[in-house]
Amino acid sequence: MASRSTLQSIQALRAVAIFLVLLLHLVSLAAHYRPDDVAHVGWAGIGHAGVDLFFVISGFIMYLIGHRQSAGWSAAGRFLYRRAARVYLPYWLWFLVAFLVYLSAPQIMLLKPGQITDLFHSFLLIPTWTPQLLPVSWTLKYELYFYAVCALILFLPGRYRLSAASGWLLYMLTGQWVCSQPPMAPCEPALFLTMHPIMFEFAMGALVGFLYEQKTYPSWASRYLFGVGVLVLLAVFVVYVFFAIDLDANAWNRVVLFGLPAALIVFGATLAERDQQARVSPWLVAVGNASYSYYLSHLIVIQMVFWLLAPIAWFPTLLMMGIACAVSLLVAGFGYRYAEQPLLRFGYRAFSRQPSGVSGQPS
């Protein structure tokens, strides 16, 4: 039986999520540099689901970490510090790399000199409508908000936590009439973020974590639920492509199309591991361990490779994409081992105990 601290299926799903995001960005950037070879994103649009999978996983892990913790400012503060260190320390490293590239050759990042006008907000991950230095950082703002909500709930005694979580969900539901779409919505960026429907994907993950802990599920769930989730994801992706659904036109589109299947996949994978119905690839677990470094660095690396190779007319587009993918994986793996891990050890040194998480990898 898999214990709560050794859920390798979660790390494997993180690897799947980063590969989905990598696929989306590879194809979208190739379409920019080589429009004659790659006319549009098309089928690679399934990569959008990688972010939704990350969000559901985050909600799942935060439930497992937090629901048994004692109440009070000490536990809540410790939780929030570790979450903030987990997000900010590796992010600041790659922010610095992106900043140096931006100063020396902004065209590599498809930017113009002076286009990034709000480095302060970008550095601290403060919500804003202006372009960010690291485009992938938009997801980290939702993560940080979710961690803040979790910390507030952890502060409360156990008997009040469900009511507090329910109040948070109600707040987001009612907020849909106030902050529906940016930037025309009559609200500030931070307020918009706190009410965004995508936050329900974290709630879905927390619900999956609750159900996982109950250990009261039908026997077929551990054998078939993961496959059902994958099939549902593929089916809704066909609908997404066929009807050309715009994920930005209505924020609920993303939650329904990709968030719900992601919740089924996470629940099915963790149940299958618990009941020993599936084996997890060690290679996927290794990639999942380093998924945050992959996520933060891959866009910069792909842009640099494409900037170098795309002008060479005879260089095959598929080979260029393959090289960009391989280099991004190598750079991220190196960064994880020699930068992210030492940074996190430094960040956690203020506390005597090791940070809580799954397989030693906090979300």
Say whether pLDDT at 223 is over 80: yes
Rounded CA separation 267/271 (Å)? 6
One-letter amino acid at 121 equals H
For the ranges 41-50, 95-104, 217-226, 346-355, the maximum mean pLDDT occurs at 95-104
Whether the pLDDT of residue 360 is over 70: the answer is no
Condensed to tens digits (0 to 9), the pLDDT of residues 112-134 reads: 888 887 899 999 999 988 889 99
CB-based contact 317:44 (threshold 8 Å): no
At 278 the pLDDT is: 82
- Contact (Cβ atoms closer than 8 angstroms) between residue 229 and residue 204: no
Least confident of 208-222, 252-266, 282-296: 208-222
Beta bridge partners of 358: 361
Cα–Cα distance measured from residue 296 to residue 313, given in angstroms and rounded to the nearest whole number: 29
Which sign does the torsion angle of CA 243, 246, 252, 258 carry? positive
Q: Which residue has the higher pLDDT, 42 or 83?
A: 83
**pLDDT (mean) for 133-151:** 96
pLDDT score of 45 more than 60:
yes
What 3 state SS string does the chain have? CCCHHHCHHHHHHHHHHHHHHHHHHHHHHHHHHCCCCCCCCHHHHHHHHHHHHHHHHHHHHHHHHHCCCCCCHHHHHHHHHHHHHHHHHHHHHHHHHHHHHHHHCHHHHCCCCCCCCCHHHHHHCCCCCCCCCCHHHHHHHHHHHHHHHHHHHHHCCHHHHHHHHHHHHHHHHHHCCCCCCCCCCCCCHHHHHHHCCCHHHHHHHHHHHHHHHHCCCCCCHHHHHHHHHHHHHHHHHHHHHHCCCCCCCCHHHHHHHHHHHHHHHHHHHHHHHHCCCCCCCHHHHHHHHCHHHHHHHHHHHHHHHHHHHCCCCCCCHHHHHHHHHHHHHHHHHHHHHHHHHHHHHHHHCCCCCCCCCECCECC
Gap between the Cα atoms of 125 and 146, Å rounded: 13
If one counts every other C-beta atom within 10 angstroms of the C-beta of residue 219, the result is 8
Q: Does position 1 have pLDDT exceeding 50, yes or no?
A: no
pLDDT for res 2:
41
- Other CB atoms within 10 Å distance of the CB of residue 286: 14
* Mean pLDDT confidence for 146-155: 95
- pLDDT at 333 (0 to 100): 96
State residue 295's pLDDT score.
98
Predicted confidence (pLDDT) at residue 54 exceeds the cutoff of 50: yes
| pLDDT tier for residue 4 given thresholds of 50, 70 and 90 | very low
Q: How confident is the model at residue 179 (pLDDT cuts 50, 70, 90)?
A: low
**Stretch 38-42: mean pLDDT:** 72
